[in-house]
Every structure is written in C-alpha cells, then in structure tokens.
Structure 1
Amino acid sequence: MAWWGWLLDLSGVVLLLLLAYGAALILRRRVIARHGGTFELSHRLRDDVPGRGWVLGLGRYSGERLEWFRIFTLWPRPNAAWNRDELSYDGRREPLGAEQMSLYPDHVVIRCTSSTGLVELAMSESSLTGFQAWLEARPPGTDWNQ
C-alpha cells in the first residue's frame, strides 16, 4: 500500500475517534443532566496568575451538595463537590481581563469560602439567584450563625 493510503486510513481512524469522543461527551452531559438541577458553572482551580486557572464545567445540585463536572472529560464522577453547610457566599464581581475570554459570556464571578478555603466560581445571573436560594434553604435546625 502506498504512503498516501496509510495516511488516508489514519485520517479516517482519527476522524472516527473524534466523532466517538464527541458522542460520548454529549451522552455524558445528558446523563449528568438527567436528574435536573444542572447549569453552566466554571471553577477556578489555580489562582497563582491573575485571571488564569479557570476550567469550564457543569454544576449540579445533588441534595446537600453542589457537584462540579469538567466539561471536556469523560469521567462520570464530579471533579469537585461542596457541602451546603460548609459553603458561604462572600460576594460577586465581573470577570476582569483574561477572565472574559476564559469564561462563558455574561457570567459573573462569585467568591465563596468553604472548609477547604477560598472557592471561586463563575455562573450566569439566573444561576447565581438559584445558588443563593439553595444556600439559604438549609434544613431546619441549622445554625445560621456560622
């Protein structure tokens, strides 16, 4: 077989793999969203360089936890999770500089504190309203003075 035949076969295999990966991402997102309560949520993993370290993802409310899934991975489990009683909202701001290119359009950056430290998330205005309502809807008997 000529070299161009091998190249054509290799191109076909790569194309099929890319199509399979895309289909698997769509299926994964549907499975995650099946239980409802999902929204576009970006998480800042590193804050050593200003405006950098953001990773796009999906958020899902699962009982007393907010789960975060990376958008471009096939891993079925959440990459991070925060319990409602360990998370407190500290404010919001508009994306600055390079953050505007790293995040979804019209998202705002929020700062939260958790038992592990500072957590920065980015979400839409309507998702922020839902997030604040979820935080405030703690079960009866919760100590609100924490």
Structure 2
Amino acid sequence: MDTKPIKVLLIEDNIGDYQIILRMLDKSENTKFELTHVPRLSTGLKVLQNDIFDIILLDLGLPDCQGLKSFQVTLKKHPSIPIIILTGLANEETGINAIKYGAQDYLVKGEFNGKLLVRAIQYAIERKKVEGLFIY
C-alpha cells in the first residue's frame, strides 16, 4: 500500500458539496487524501500552475464557467491530470459526452457514496497512467 496521500483538487462552488466530499475522503480507511478546495474554475487553474495534483474533481455548475466548457478548458490546459466530473444533473447525454471528450468518470451528486468516490478516484488515476499521460 502506498502511504503517500493522493492529492485531489476539488473545483466546487457549493460549500455543502465540498463538506460532503471532504467527509467521504476522510472516512477512507486504506487510502489517504490531501484535498485542496477552490470555488471557481479560474482559481483552480491558478492553483494548478503552482502545485501538482493527482486528480481533479470538477463541478460543471461553476459561477465563472458552466457545463462541459469548464471541463474542456481544464483538460486543454492540463491533459495529463485525470478529471472526474461532478454534477447535480443526472443527464446521461452530458455524461457520455464528458467521457468521449476525455473525462475519466462522471458522478452525479447525491448518487454516490464514499467507497464509490474513492474507487472512482483510484481507477481514474490508473486509467490515466495506462494512457501514458500521467505525470508524477
């Protein structure tokens, strides 16, 4: 087991959703996480210039960028970091498009638990490694 924590950047404007995700990650027994939270895409992109993250959890309903555009902007600037989309909308078409465009996963808020989130993060990182784009 790797003892180094997984560095997660959560780009999410809803403080309640942030707290839920924080609790989910804190409860993980076998994997440790270091969570950085920012409420806007612009802030997240600035943070990504100065720090290295293992994964990005990205909300699609941000104040400064909406929908898949926020994902596309993030992916274009940081193609080597796996991105999991978080959304409050259970829109299957958006989820499929996100995966087609390169998202590692698409999770609907309120429809996943901590174990599923941890597994999605671990699998996303491993898939990105297999793609040969993951940078340590």
* TM-score computed with the length of structure 2 as normaliser: 0.24
Q: Answer 1 or 2: which has greater strand percent.
A: 1
* TM-score computed with the length of structure 1 as normaliser: 0.23
Q: Answer 1 or 2: which has greater helix percent.
A: 2
Q: Which structure carries more relative contact order (alpha carbon 8 Å, separation 6+)?
A: 2
Tell me which structure has the larger Cα radius of gyration. 1
